[in-house]
Amino acid sequence: MIKKLSIITIALFLFGGSTLAFAWWDSLETAETVEVGIGEGVTISVDLDEQTDGVLVPEGVVMKDDDITEAEIDFTVILDRTDLVEELDLLVTIDNVEIDGDDTNAGLVGTSISNPGIIQNDPVEVTITVTLDEPVDETQYDAVANKDITFDVTFEAQQQD
């Protein structure tokens, strides 16, 4: 086992520079449009497997042709009205993260939200970036490797205080 770990560590070190050089190739993007009402949350269930053509892997691992280290999902958020005089707060939250229908290892899934924070009459772009941390052992690896990642994204427009 130690011999395998040493070989993997050396391989990661040797190929790490190549991985960084091709970072632009590591991610895929998809887009969806979401219409929200004032004070009414809209929840979208996201299945990462359906959003990407690649397999999400932790950064720094030796990558295969269809592996990606991050997936970006772009949402165009619009209001159900276009006659507002004042800006609204745009709240975006992520919850119910699961890997293969189980939340045991959901902590390995990293998400970040790029949100302008406000919305008025024009559409705004929200980007969610999804990454995967490296499992700590073989059991955790078996539970997450090549498994489907799902989560819910809730969009809500609220009047500013």
Mean pLDDT of the chain: 82
Q: Spell out a b/e string for 31-58, using b for 16 or more CB atoms within 10 Å of the CB, else e.
A: eeebebeeeeeeeeebebeebbebbbbb
**pLDDT value for 65:** 87
Of residues 74 and 4, more confidently modeled = 74
29-56, pLDDT tens digit by residue? 456 888 898 888 899 999 998 887 888 9
The answer to whether 89 and 160 have CB atoms below 8 angstroms apart is yes
pLDDT-based confidence at residue 104 (cuts at 50, 70, 90): very high
Round to whole Å and give the CA distance between 127 and 77: 10
pLDDT in tens, 14-28: 444 444 333 333 334
Amino acid identity, residue 27?
A: S
